[in-house]
């Protein structure tokens, strides 16, 4: 499927900019490069947006976060957002524009979480951080001035994986729907790198099969990464076991030209088979990472607007 011309132009610019520079080989170098690349696609916050800092205490640490509150909403609903980056790179700073635009497009407050990263903090720490963040924010809704009877999660790529994990863990622990809805943007669903989309888009652009294998290895350890094998832990393999309290409504967004396309489609199908209401959006012309590229490509911006509209549309059903 053809890639959007503005997206193609963006990747050409990145190739030219970093031509001749060494490819980062470790987590620290990759974080630095990713932060530098992401900063080039930042845009000013939407008019009237306020951004404040907060901190979430967890066992042995404190997780920083940023709360985006759009103009014109006195008591907005709350979305908890987890950034992408293969559990290894990324931060609320690299995804600042993504979360600011999501807040503006949905009219919701968005809490962006700076969870701990692998390989220094491998599985299950990011999962534990995500669940702890959702639990803390659920209890802090009155203090934060957001709607007390609704909570959603969202995330892109590995952040979408963490959002789905956190929703399941928190709801199962409570025995009820603490998390009411989830927006999963080209989510990772399983350490299975042999799907049709992995074969079709193994060399990218946006994300390659080898890069995703490296991220999984940093996260769960190379001995555990059996390509094509099933796993019995739903915090790793999202479809490992039947859920008890899935969020009632989900929007799954996949990019048509992405190694993770089939991950998202498989998870959407899993949710449907377990009686959850699901809207699946396949963004034609898009590649992995297009949510960050909204300032670069009008079609990327339009797809994310559609996703936000679809997400808001399910709120009345939960």
In 18-81, which residue ranges form alpha helices assigned H by DSSP?
Answer: 27-39
Q: For residues 146 and 107, is the Cβ–Cβ distance under 8 A?
A: no
Q: Is the dihedral of CA 187, 189, 193, 196 positive or negative?
A: negative
What dihedral do alpha carbons 11, 12, 14, 20 form, nearest 10°?
Answer: 140
Q: How many residues does the chain have?
A: 318
Give me the phi and psi of 310, to 5 degrees please.
-65, -40
Active-site residue identified among 95, 96, 161, 288 = 288
- The catalytic residue among 4, 45, 129, 258 is 258
Bridge-partner residues for 81, per DSSP? 112, 154
Cα distances from 146 to residues 14, 78, 143, 280, in angstroms, run: 39, 6, 8, 28
Catalytic residue among 41, 91, 157, 197: 157
Distance CA 279, CA 76 (A): 23
Number of alpha helices (DSSP H) and beta strands (DSSP E) in the chain: 10, 8
d(CA 270, CA 191): 16
The verdict on whether 112 is a catalytic residue reads no
CA atoms within 13 A on the CB side of 72: 8
Residue 140 annotated among the catalytic residues of the structure: no
Which residues does 153 contact at the CB level (< 8 Å), separation at least 6? 79, 80, 81, 82, 134, 163, 164, 166, 167, 179, 181, 182, 183, 247
157 classed as catalytic: yes
CA 1 to chain CA mean position, Å = 24
Give the integer Cα–Cα distance in Å for 248 and 314: 9
For the beta carbon of residue 107, count every other beta carbon within 10 angstroms.
Answer: 14
- CA–CA gap between residue 284 and residue 263 (Å, rounded): 16
Which active-site residues does the annotation give? 157, 258, 288
């Amino acid at each position: 499927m053809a890639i959007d011309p503005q997206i193609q132009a963006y990747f050409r610019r990145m190739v030219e900019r970093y031509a001749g520079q060494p490819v980062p080989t470790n987590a620290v170098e990759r974080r630095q490069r990713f932060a530098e690349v992401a900063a080039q696609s930042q845009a000013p916050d939407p008019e009237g947006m306020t951004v404040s800092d907060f901190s979430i205490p967890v066992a042995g640490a404190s997780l920083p976060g940023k709360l985006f509150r759009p103009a014109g909403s006195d008591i907005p609903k709350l979305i908890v957002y987890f950034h992408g980056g293969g559990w290894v790179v990324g931060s609320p700073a690299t995804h600042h524009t993504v979360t600011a635009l999501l807040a503006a497009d949905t009219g919701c407050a968005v809490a962006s979480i700076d969870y701990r990263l692998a390989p220094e903090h491998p599985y299950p720490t990011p999962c534990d951080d995500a669940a702890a963040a959702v639990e803390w924010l659920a209890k802090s809704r009155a203090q934060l001035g957001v709607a007390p009877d609704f909570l959603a999660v969202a995330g892109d790529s590995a952040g979408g994986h963490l959002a789905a994990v956190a929703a399941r863990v928190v709801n199962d622990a409570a025995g009820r729907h603490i998390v009411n809805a989830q927006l999963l943007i080209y989510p990772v669903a399983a350490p299975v790198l042999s799907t049709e989309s992995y074969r079709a888009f193994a060399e990218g652009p946006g994300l390659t099969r080898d890069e995703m294998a490296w991220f999984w290895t940093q996260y769960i350890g190379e001995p555990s990464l059996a390509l094509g094998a099933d796993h019995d832990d739903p915090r790793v393999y999202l479809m490992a076991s039947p859920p008890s309290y899935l969020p009632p409504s989900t929007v799954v967004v996949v990019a048509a030209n992405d190694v993770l396309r089939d991950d998202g489609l498989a998870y959407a199908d899993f949710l449907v088979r377990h009686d959850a209401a699901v809207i699946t959006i396949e963004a034609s012309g898009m590649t992995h990472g297009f949510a960050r590229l909204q300032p670069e490509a009008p079609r990327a911006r339009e797809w994310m607007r559609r996703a936000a509209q679809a997400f808001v549309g399910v709120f009345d059903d939960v």
